[in-house]
């Protein structure tokens, strides 16, 4: 499978060899990690029902993305992507509750919210790609002559851009925004 990214005006084509290569999965995994950190604090952990709910929804998204990826058929995978998007939506709902109940502060909320919004965008793009594929899936793009180090560096640039973007521009993000 190949995935196209455009960073700073240049198009990057990278081979996706496992679910961890998907930006969609990476963003949901980062969101899951953040949720588990703030729900582990003693003042939040005592609200067991809330913690169980948000942890379950945050944990489900990356797991479902992984499961769908290994179905290898775009139509099957697309259904799992839709389920993961639903879990992200549920997590966003719990994040708003967490902010309202002061289980996390505004800055922490904005980082989690931004991850959820970016994951939703990545998931929608991945879903559109899967729906455009032939029923038996795309042809293999594996090319042993490919410069793997060059592609790994480009992949890392994408991740770095995402991570840098999490710290930049958060002040203009409103909690009710879907950007």
Annotated domain spans of the chain: 18-172
Concatenated DSSP letters of 98-129: HHHTTSS-HHHHHHHHHHHHHHHHHHHHHHHH
89-147: pLDDT as tens digits: 999 999 999 999 999 999 999 999 999 999 999 999 999 999 998 877 765 544 444 55
CB count within 10 Å of CB 66 equals: 18
Residue 178, classed as helix, strand or coil, is coil
> Is the pLDDT score of 170 beyond 80?
no
pTM of the model: 0.70
3-57: pLDDT as tens digits: 444 444 444 456 788 899 899 999 999 999 999 999 999 999 999 999 999 999 9
Using 50, 70 and 90 to split pLDDT, how confident is the model at 71? confident
> Is the pLDDT score of 2 beyond 60?
no
Q: Is the dihedral of CA 175, 162, 61, 52 positive or negative?
A: negative
Q: Report the first-to-last Cα separation within the chain, whole angstroms.
A: 28
Strand partners, 6: 11
19, 69 in Cβ contact below 8 A?
Answer: yes
- C-alpha triplet 30, 31, 36: angle, nearest 5°: 100
What CATH code is assigned to 18-172?
1.20.1440.60
């Amino acid at each position: 499978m190949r995935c196209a990214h455009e960073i700073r005006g240049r198009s990057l084509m990278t081979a996706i060899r496992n679910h961890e290569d998907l930006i969609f999965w990476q963003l949901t995994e980062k969101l899951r990690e953040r949720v588990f950190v703030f729900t582990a604090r003693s003042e939040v952990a005592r609200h067991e029902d809330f913690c169980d709910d948000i942890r379950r929804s945050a944990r489900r998204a990356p797991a479902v993305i992984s499961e769908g990826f290994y179905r290898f058929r775009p139509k099957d995978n697309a259904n799992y992507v839709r389920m993961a998007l639903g879990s992200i939506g549920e997590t966003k709902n719990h994040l708003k509750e967490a902010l309202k109940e002061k289980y996390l502060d505004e800055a922490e909320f904005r980082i989690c919210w931004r991850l959820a919004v970016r994951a939703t965008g990545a998931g929608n793009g991945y879903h559109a790609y899967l729906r455009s594929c032939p029923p038996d899936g795309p042809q293999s793009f594996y090319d042993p002559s490919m410069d793997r180090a060059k592609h790994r560096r480009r992949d890392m640039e994408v991740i770095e851009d995402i991570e840098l973007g999490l710290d930049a521009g958060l002040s203009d993000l409103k909690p009710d925004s879907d950007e």
